[in-house]
């Protein structure tokens, strides 16, 4: 599955380019930096897979792995552009959901437990930061008075 490995390496490079673009342009232009990098990288992934001499099925698997990994890597750059408090709250919520999902419960019960745990952890972490339980960060809003 060599085309997929090439695509994953290309996705890693896309993440580095997206990070560099975001750090060069600043947080106020985060969306443009991320979307621009994502568009270029999806196009590069398509060109890479079109040039592949693999079987059609393997080429399709490679295309799927390449574009999925590139999209996830580039979109993860959004953590650099987000407010730091929002990243902390989101990370706490995801960690609680992962822990709750790992419990040996039946499928639907595990899903509900993970949703409740992530909501509770998000509210708790929001209360400890400037974000608050409402989910609105007034400290980093443009034009807000401190």
Predicted local distance difference test score (pLDDT) of residue 100: 94
**What's the average model confidence in pLDDT over 46-60?**
82
Of 58, 97, 82, give the one whose Cα is nearest residue 135.
82
Confidence band of 95 (pLDDT split at 50, 70, 90)? very high
Q: Answer whether residue 146 is part of any domain.
A: no
Q: Answer whether residue 137 is part of any domain.
A: no
131/49: higher pLDDT:
49
Say whether both 44 and 90 belong to one domain.
no
Q: Answer whether residue 141 is part of any domain.
A: no
Q: Answer whether residue 133 is part of any domain.
A: no
Domains in the chain, number: 2
How far apart are alpha carbons 77 and 126 in whole angstroms? 22
Say whether both 99 and 76 belong to one domain.
no
Rounded to two decimals, the pTM is 0.64
Say whether both 53 and 76 belong to one domain.
yes
Query: Would you say residue 144 has pLDDT above 70?
Result: no
Predicted local distance difference test score (pLDDT) of residue 134: 64
Predicted local distance difference test score (pLDDT) of residue 135: 58
Q: Answer whether residue 144 is part of any domain.
A: no
Say whether both 7 and 42 belong to one domain.
yes
Q: Answer whether residue 145 is part of any domain.
A: no
73/145: higher pLDDT:
73
Share of the chain above pLDDT 90, in %: 25
Q: For 36, list phi and psi in degrees, rounded to 5.
A: -65, -45
What letter would DSSP give residue 27?
A: G
Q: Answer whether residue 109 is part of any domain.
A: yes
CB-based contact 131:140 (threshold 8 Å): no
Query: Would you say residue 118 has pLDDT above 60?
Result: yes
**What's the average model confidence in pLDDT over 40-46?**
88
**The last residue of a domain, from among 81, 99, 115:** 81
Say whether both 92 and 69 belong to one domain.
no
Give the residue numbers spanning the domain of 77. 2-81
How far apart are alpha carbons 1 and 56 in whole angstroms? 12
Say whether both 57 and 104 belong to one domain.
no
How far apart are alpha carbons 9 and 137 in whole angstroms? 36
């Amino acid at each position: 599955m060599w085309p997929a490995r090439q695509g994953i390496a290309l996705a890693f490079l896309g993440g580095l380019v997206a990070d560099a673009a975001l750090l060069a342009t600043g947080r106020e232009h985060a969306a443009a930096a991320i979307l621009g990098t994502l568009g270029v990288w999806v196009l590069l992934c398509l060109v890479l897979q079109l040039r592949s001499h693999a079987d059609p099925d393997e080429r399709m698997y490679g295309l799927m792995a390449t574009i999925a990994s590139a999209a996830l890597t580039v979109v993860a750059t959004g953590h650099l552009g987000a407010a730091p408090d929002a990243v902390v709250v989101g990370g706490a919520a995801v960690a609680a959901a992962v822990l709750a999902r790992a419990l040996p419960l039946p499928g639907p019960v595990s899903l509900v437990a993970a949703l409740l745990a992530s909501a509770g952890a998000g509210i708790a972490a929001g209360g400890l930061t400037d974000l608050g339980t409402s989910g609105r960060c007034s400290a980093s809003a443009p034009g807000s008075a401190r």
